[in-house]
């Protein structure tokens, strides 16, 4: 079994549509102050048995939900039958010249790339995991200067630690959703997702847009390019896993 972790249901939509024989359930863990739950889906993707887990955006929730998904996967498939962990989704560009829609391997390239023909391999890029959304061009430039990273996300460093603690190999895969010079609609995104609780809050966003309808265009212009990127990332991962077959994570 392969475990595929994705931060949000939005990012997972196309991949889940291609999981055949899909069964839905909830993974839970009781470690820490309160129980944590993660939506999980088990089935077949690109010829592999997979468990897909939605882990949320940002630490510490992504790490704890990743723990819950891996615990559930071990319970259902057996610890020795999990071949590896894939984390896939969007990332922001920190480095000027990195373009929206580019796909990068951000960790564990040898687990997948080494089994692919040269023309199928994606470039590697250093990624920094931030504790909060990096929304402005100035903040992106500062973070690139201080870390040297080309990309930023809010999950990988913590999820990679969870995989390592479980003794599982890890592969990171990201598609660029926004470029280094672009400003993100931080106020709107913060109303759509409660980072402190690690939950989506669509009603809060809807209420804000009802009171401020002129902001709907700002949100639409941010969201509009994302579905084709999501589809492209799903197609690339599907192709790679089909080509590598049983060699993936070997």
Q: What is the pLDDT of residues 182-228, one digit of tens each?
A: 998 877 777 767 676 677 777 776 776 678 777 778 777 888 999 99
Residue 234 pLDDT class (50, 70, 90 cuts) = very high
% of the chain exceeding 70 in pLDDT: 94
52: its two tokens: 């897909």
Dump pLDDT digits (tens) for 118-148: 999 999 999 999 998 899 999 999 999 999 9
117: its two tokens: 């023909």
Cα distance between residue 230 and residue 233, in whole Å: 5
Cα distance between residue 158 and residue 145, in whole Å: 22
The CA radius of gyration of the chain, in Å to the nearest whole number, is: 18
Dump pLDDT digits (tens) for 19-72: 999 999 999 876 666 788 899 999 999 999 999 999 998 888 899 999 999 999
CA distances from 215 to 83, 92, 120 (A): 45, 22, 40
Contacts of 27 (CB under 8 A, 6+ apart): 37, 38, 39, 40, 53, 65, 68, 69, 71, 72
Cα distance between residue 28 and residue 65, in whole Å: 8
53 within 8 A of 137, measured Cβ to Cβ? no
At which residue do the structure tokens 């071990």 appear?
74
Domains of the chain: 2-247 (3.40.50.1580)
């Amino acid at each position: 079994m392969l475990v595929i972790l994705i931060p949000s249901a939005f990012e997972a939509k196309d991949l889940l549509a291609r999981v055949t024989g899909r069964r839905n359930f909830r993974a839970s863990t009781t470690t820490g102050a309160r129980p944590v739950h993660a939506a999980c889906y088990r089935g077949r993707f690109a010829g592999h048995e997979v468990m897909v887990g939605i882990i949320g955006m940002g630490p510490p929730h992504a790490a704890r939900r990743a723990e819950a998904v891996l615990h559930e996967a071990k319970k259902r498939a057996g610890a020795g039958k999990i071949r590896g962990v894939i984390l896939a989704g969007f990332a922001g560009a920190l480095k000027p010249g990195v373009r929206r829609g580019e796909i990068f391997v951000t960790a564990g390239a040898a687990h997948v790339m080494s089994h692919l023909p040269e023309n199928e391999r994606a470039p590697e890029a250093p990624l920094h995991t931030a504790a909060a959304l990096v929304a402005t061009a100035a903040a992106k430039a500062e973070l690139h200067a201080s870390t040297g990273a080309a990309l930023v996300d809010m999950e990988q460093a913590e999820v990679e630690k969870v995989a390592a603690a479980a003794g599982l190999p890890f592969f990171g895969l990201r598609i660029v959703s926004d470029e280094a010079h672009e400003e993100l609609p931080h106020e709107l995104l913060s109303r759509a997702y409660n980072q402190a609780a690690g939950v989506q809050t669509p009603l809060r966003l809807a209420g804000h847009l009802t009171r401020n309808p002129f902001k709907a265009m700002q949100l639409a212009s941010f969201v509009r390019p994302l579905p084709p990127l999501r589809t492209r990332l799903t197609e690339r991962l599907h192709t790679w896993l089909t080509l590598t077959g049983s060699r993936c994570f070997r």
